Amino acid sequence: MQSVRRSLLAAVLAVGLPWLSGGAQAAPVKVGVIVPLSGMTSQIGVKVRAAYTLAQEEINAAGGINGEPLQFVFADHQGRPDVGAREAERLVGQEKVQALTGSYESGVTLAVAQVAERRKVPYLVPYSAANRITESGLKYTFRTRPPSRVWVDAMFQYLATAAQQSGKPIEKIAILSEDGAYGQGTAEDIKKAAAKYNKQIVATETFHGGAQDLTAQINKIRASGADAVLAASYLNDTMKALQTMNILQYKRPYLTLGTGEVDPGFFQLGELAENQVGTTAWLADVKLPGAAELAAKVKDKLKLDINDDIAYAYAVTYLYKEAAEVEKSSAPDIVRKVLASHTFTSERANLVPRQGGPLKFDENGQANTVILVGQAQGGSWVTVWPPDLAGAPNKTGQWVPGNR
């Protein structure tokens, strides 16, 4: 009997003491993180959760935010806008978070942004690419990831550089896009950019995501005489397209809007992978102070190969820290004001590639971040564009632009 009582007492103490001592500490700064932890894109959510947690641990070990510990509260949106909105409501209403971050699919991000707007809580978006996220007049949404328009701009500017380098002009463009919202939105952006850069669209082909056969589409593109293919395709579709182009001996630059083609899985293509290019938001060799160190830390502590999502999650955490420390307050309205006007100077908040100085949000809440072009060289992805951030020179070996 005695021993039972003793162990009961021990159990009560074990459960109760940390709670008691926790109450004595400074109240934490709570930030809600809404990411896909189940569903189609859950592997991304699990990775970025690890990245957020890594940054949180570092910040707390170094004294927290304004002397208060940072506490992330994670929620799963399952890739569904309705779940995302519900979770955002819960985080703000019940968990009393001071800010929100996360989401992945643009539809979910927009749903969460509506809640943030209504609840007057700043929402930091490190992922989604849909243009309208920062073009709907939202006052509380701040996006560090460039919108799809900037991705497409990077494609055209890179092609101009590659054409100059190879001495073969790239004037005729073919569009290959999947038939969902992502593909159709991107195709529209490509058409607009083509007009802006004075290029001719000679073919517009669509396919159903996950198609095992793109021969018909590539054949029509080949017959159109396009000098380059700009695409909205997922990793496996990209690989299928490149293989088909190779079989048809149609060797042209193929660039898709970053959906993970800049990925280790791409090297399943073997020799064909070498010198292929793709757009991405981040690569480990990008010329930014602290980038290599971050990649090594992610590998060492999280046992993960770093990617753009991880880097953006890490950087946005430090961005929030800086925003809350400017006015020494994490009150939602004060942080929102700081986000709208402050120029971020800390190295870790600036771990994302930018144009025109340190990170800053414009009047729409869009950061001045830029997109990189990566190239597969010797079994890994390296940055080849823009020149000031590139870790390696661009090679034109695999594809020969305009070699008709």
Q: Name the burial class of residue 395, with classes exposed (0-12), middle (13-18) and buried (19+) by CB atoms within 10 angstroms of its CB.
A: middle
Query: How far is 76 from 55, CA to CA, in rounded Å?
Result: 19
- Among residues 270, 356, 378, 379, which is the contact residue for other proteins, using CB under 8 A? 270
127 is a site residue for other proteins (CB under 8 A): no
246 is a site residue for other proteins (CB under 8 A): yes
Q: What is the enclosing helix (H) or strand (E) of 18?
A: helix 2-24
Sheet holding 372-377, edge to edge: 277-280, 372-377, 380-385
Query: How far is 282 from 391, CA to CA, in rounded Å?
Result: 12
**SS3 sequence of 276-343:** CEEEECCCCCCCCCCHHHHHHHHHHHHCCCCCHHHHHHHHHHHHHHHHHHHCCCCCHHHHHHHHHHCE
Query: What does the per-residue mask of binding to other proteins show for 271-300, with x meaning CB under 8 A?
Result: -x----------------------------
> Which of 289, 284, 280 has its CA nearest to residue 306?
284
> Which of 265, 264, 261, 268 has its CA nearest to residue 373?
261
Residue closer to other proteins (CB basis): 265 or 393: 265
Stretch near other proteins under the rule CB under 8 A, chosen from 55-63, 72-80, 137-145, 266-274 = 266-274
Stretch near other proteins under the rule CB under 8 A, chosen from 79-87, 106-114, 124-132, 246-254 = 246-254
**Residues 6+ away with beta carbon under 8 Å from 377:** 274, 275, 392, 395
269 is a site residue for other proteins (CB under 8 A): yes
Residue closer to other proteins (CB basis): 235 or 302: 235
The β-bridge relationship of strands 99-102 and 29-35 is: parallel
- Among residues 239, 241, 315, 370, which is the contact residue for other proteins, using CB under 8 A? 239
**Structure tokens given for 140:** 């509380």
Residue closer to other proteins (CB basis): 150 or 239: 239
- Among residues 18, 93, 265, 357, which is the contact residue for other proteins, using CB under 8 A? 265
CA-to-CA dists, residue 352 to 30, 69, 139, 182, angstroms: 24, 24, 23, 23
Size of the site for other proteins (CB under 8 A): 26
Q: Where are the alpha helices (DSSP H) in 102-230?
A: 106-119, 148-166, 181-196, 215-224
Residue closer to other proteins (CB basis): 235 or 326: 235
**Residues 6+ away with beta carbon under 8 Å from 366:** 134, 143, 146, 147
249 is a site residue for other proteins (CB under 8 A): yes
- Among residues 217, 317, 350, 369, which is the contact residue for other proteins, using CB under 8 A? 217
- Among residues 215, 341, 345, 403, which is the contact residue for other proteins, using CB under 8 A? 215
364 is a site residue for other proteins (CB under 8 A): no
Residue closer to other proteins (CB basis): 168 or 251: 251
Min separation Cβ 34 and other proteins, Å: 22
Min separation Cβ 38 and other proteins, Å: 12
Angle between helices 106-119 and 81-93 (to 10 degrees): 30
46 is a site residue for other proteins (CB under 8 A): no
Residue closer to other proteins (CB basis): 179 or 188: 179
Min separation Cβ 259 and other proteins, Å: 13
Stretch near other proteins under the rule CB under 8 A, chosen from 84-92, 149-157, 215-223, 277-285 = 215-223
Return the amino acid letter for 99: A
Of 174-213, which residues contact other proteins (CB under 8 A)? 179, 206-208, 212-213
238 is a site residue for other proteins (CB under 8 A): no
> Which of 230, 176, 220, 235 has its CA nearest to residue 199?
230
Residue closer to other proteins (CB basis): 149 or 240: 240
Of 62-81, which residues contact other proteins (CB under 8 A)? none
248 is a site residue for other proteins (CB under 8 A): yes
Min separation Cβ 359 and other proteins, Å: 33
Stretch near other proteins under the rule CB under 8 A, chosen from 16-24, 238-246, 301-309, 351-359 = 238-246
Query: How far is 233 from 235, CA to CA, in rounded Å?
Result: 7
Tell me the DSSP string of 202-242.
Answer: EEEEEE-TT-S--HHHHHHHHHHT-SEEEEE--HHHHHHHH
**Structure tokens given for 303:** 């046992």
Binding site for other proteins (CB under 8 A): 179, 206-208, 212-213, 215-217, 219-220, 223, 235-236, 239-240, 243, 246-249, 265, 268-270, 272
